[in-house]
A and B are shown apart, each in its own frame.
Chain A
Amino acid sequence: ELKVEQNPLFLSMQEGKNYTIYCNYSTTSDRLYWYRQDPGKSLESLFVLLSNGAVKQEGRLMASLDTKARLSTLHITAAVHDLSATYFCAVDIKNYGGSQGNLIFGKGTKLSVKP
C-alpha cells in the first residue's frame, strides 16, 4: 500500500527556533512537492523537488529530497509567526503505475509559531 507519512503532525515552536518536518513515502518516486495551507484557505505550492539530492530554499524554508531513503525534509530556520500554517508533502505516483500526475498527500503538519 502506498503511504506518505509526515511527522510531526503538530508542531508548536517559538520564534527564532529551528525545526525540521519529515516526509517519508513507501514507493519509488523522484518527484515530491511541498504545499502550504493557511487556515480556511487553499493550497499554495512551495517547492518542487524533481531528483535525488534536490534542495530548494525560499526565505526561512529549505526542502530536500533523498529518493534512496524515500525521505524529504522541510527545514525551518529562525521561525517567525508568519510561517504558522499547515504544510503538506505530496508524492507523484506516476512511477507507481498511476496516471498522469496523481499525487498522494501526507496528512499535513500543523505548525504554530509563538512569540
Chain B
Amino acid sequence: SQTIHQWPATLVQPVGSPLSLECTVEGTSNPNLYWYRQAAGRGLQLLFYSVGIGQISSEVPQNLSASRPQDRQFILSSKKLLLSDSGFYLCAWSVGTRASYEQYFGPGTRLTVT
C-alpha cells in the first residue's frame, strides 16, 4: 500500500531563516506530487506541483521554491522566511489515470514563523 511521509511535523523558525520541508511517498512509482499551504482557518492554496523528477510548476509567486531530486521525494524550501509563511504545509500525491487524479495527503508540517 502507498504511504506518504512529511517531516518535520512541527517547526518554529525566526523571520529571515531558511526552510526545508521534506515529503516522501512509498509504494508507488512516478507519482504527481503537490505542495499546499493552509493558513489558519483558511482553505488550501496550491503552491507547487510536479509530474516528474526535476519538473516543477509554480502556482503562486512567492519566496518559496520546490525541488524533486528523486521520483518519490519532494522538497519545499525558502532562503528567507517571512511572517506570512506561517501555516500548515501539506504534501499530496496522485497517480494519473484517465478516470481520476484523486489526491492523497500527508500528515502535514505546521510552520510558525516568529
B105 in contact with A42 (CB, 8 Å): yes
Quick one: given A105-B43, A107-B43, are A100 and B104 in contact (CB under 8 Å)?
no
A101 to B96, CA, bound (A): 7
B106 interfacial contact with A, CB 8 Å: yes
Q: Which residue of A lies closest to B6 (CB)?
A: A42
Report the stretch among A43-51, A59-67, A77-85 that lies at the interface.
A43-51
Interface magnitude class on chain B: 20 to 34
Interface magnitude class on chain A: 20 to 34
Per-residue 0/1 for A14-46: is the Cβ within 8 Å of any B Cβ (1 yes, 0 no)?
000000000000000001010100001111110
Q: Which residue of B lies closest to A100 (CB)?
A: B96
A12 interfacial contact with B, CB 8 Å: no
Most buried by B among A33, A88, A102, A106: A102
Chain B residue numbers with a CB within 8 Å of A105 are 43-44
Chain A residue numbers with a CB within 8 Å of B111 are none
Instruction: Among A42, A102, A104, A106, point to the contact of B108 (Cβ < 8 A).
Output: A42
Per-residue 0/1 for B87-114: is the Cβ within 8 Å of any A Cβ (1 yes, 0 no)?
0001010101001111111111010000
B35 interfacial contact with A, CB 8 Å: no
A8 to B9, CA, bound (A): 31
Which of B's residues lie within 8 Å of A, judged by CB? Answer: 32, 42-44, 46, 49, 51, 57, 90, 92, 94, 96, 99-108, 110
Which of A's residues lie within 8 Å of B, judged by CB? Answer: 31, 33, 35, 40-45, 48, 50, 88, 90, 92, 94, 99-108
